[in-house]
Amino acid sequence: MLGAVENPIKVKLDQFYRIEINDFAVTVAKTALWISEHQMIKETEDIVHTEIDFLPLTSYANIVEANALRIDWEDVVPKDKLDYIMGNPPFIGARLMSPSQKVDIDNIFGPKWQNKGDLDYVSAWFKEASDYMNGTEIKTAFVATNSISQGQSVANLWKPLFNNGAEIIFAYRSFKWNSESTTKLVYMLL
């Protein structure tokens, strides 16, 4: 016999926040949210045998078009409203960054961070997330290249982050990605 759940977990689209630099990706994200909402409404209609009004489509103001390394994340969503940060930051090697991306690295790591010029661009998201979640219970999961967990990056990135209270609670070893890309990726949760 099935029993009713007293406090079911409800996930609503307005609980998702996103910072996206590309205007097309913002539009795609909004569309994906609408499609997901529509699919869940259809599933609910099948269960309750009642039509649910889906329209009008509402705009999700929680998708912000901006450079995630130049906007204050607290302006997008206050820390006390957040449980998880998830993302797939860009994979750009330390020697392949544009001048603008090098400025982002300088701004995120500040003048006292040693050897920041040797860090891949994705490292800035780990630093930004670590700073943002400091003193909270927020967990972060990023897809990243394995280059940030090998060689110079270990001392350049992780030692200072660990000294600031960050910890890795889960990491997945490199594996062959089943896509058209040959890049090897690793998931890390701070």
Closest alpha carbon to 127 in 108, 143, 114, 111: 108
Look at the block and give the residue holding tokens 């957040």: 82
Number of structural domains found in the chain: 2
Residues 170, 91 share a domain: yes
The residue range of the domain holding 3 is 1-66
| Residue 175 DSSP one-character state | B
Residues 179, 118 share a domain: yes
Residues 93, 61 share a domain: no
Residues 49, 106 share a domain: no
Cα separation, 61 vs 16, in Å, equals 10
- 44 domain residue, yes or no: yes
The pair of structure tokens assigned to 13 is 């689209």
Gap between the terminal Cα atoms of the chain: 40
pTM of the full structure: 0.76
Q: What is the CATH number of the domain that holds 182?
A: 3.40.50.150
Residues 54, 12 share a domain: yes
**Tens of each residue's pLDDT in the chain, 190 residues:** 344 445 556 667 777 778 888 888 778 877 777 777 777 777 777 777 777 666 555 656 688 889 999 999 999 999 998 888 988 898 898 899 999 999 999 999 999 999 999 999 999 999 999 999 988 999 998 888 788 888 778 888 988 999 888 888 877 777 666 666 555 544 444 4
In the chain, the amino acid numbered 106 is D
